[in-house]
Amino acid sequence: MNKVKRTWNINGERREAEIPPVRRFLDVLREDLDLKGTKEGCGEGECGACTVIVDGEPVLSCMLPAGQVPDSAEVTTVEGLEKTPGGRLLQAAYAEKGAAQCGFCIPGMIVSSYAMLSRDPDMDPGRIREAHAGNICRCTGYEKIVEAIQSAAEQWPAEAKG
């Protein structure tokens, strides 16, 4: 199969890949670029475990052919969150509220949280639930997850700027 070359800015680093255009972006991230923080749950676009951010939008990497991720795209995976004030704030809030049980959903969940708060940190529990409707937690720890995101949202303007 023909391959395409792509150069992406992933978590602030220039990364190159030569890939069959239909290869799943999830597999390129995990297997080709060794970014294993992004998880595969269902592989069918139902659970949100594979969520990453491409040019500011949360996307399901299991459903995204890598060839459709444009050259020079800005990509954030869960590994990149610790490099940002907002990401660190969210990680601390998830930990402080005990939001992770088995933890499998958390990479996708927290990446969705980061995308949402980066766009609009003015959140209430209803909007948080709505924005995370595509992220399924098998341990059903939603209450603490929402508490964590709300806590991060409340601190977002002071601590997550820049």
Residues in touch with ligand FES (CB under 6 A): 40-43, 45-50, 60, 62, 100-105, 137-139, 141
User: Which pair of structure tokens corresponds to residue 58?
Assistant: 């949360």
Q: Which is nearer to ligand FES, 107 or 160 (CB)?
A: 107
- The gap from C-alpha 47 to its chain's centroid, in whole angstroms, comes to 13
User: Do residues 52 and 41 make contact, with C-beta atoms less than 8 angstroms apart?
Assistant: no
- Tell the smallest beta-carbon distance from residue 98 to ligand FES (Å): 10
C-alpha–C-alpha distance, residues 26 and 31, integer Å: 8
- Tell the smallest beta-carbon distance from residue 161 to ligand FES (Å): 29
- Tell the smallest beta-carbon distance from residue 51 to ligand FES (Å): 7
Q: Which is nearer to ligand FES, 59 or 160 (CB)?
A: 59
Q: Which is nearer to ligand FES, 57 or 71 (CB)?
A: 57
List residues bridging with 6 in a β-sheet: 17
User: Do residues 24 and 14 make contact, with C-beta atoms less than 8 angstroms apart?
Assistant: no
Q: Which is nearer to ligand FES, 116 or 160 (CB)?
A: 116
Q: Taking Cα atoms as reference points, which of 116, 114, 122, 124 lies closest to residue 147? A: 124
Residue 134 Rama label (left phi>0; alpha psi -120 to 50; beta) = alpha
- Tell the smallest beta-carbon distance from residue 140 to ligand FES (Å): 8
Q: Which is nearer to ligand FES, 147 or 160 (CB)?
A: 147
- Tell the smallest beta-carbon distance from residue 9 to ligand FES (Å): 22
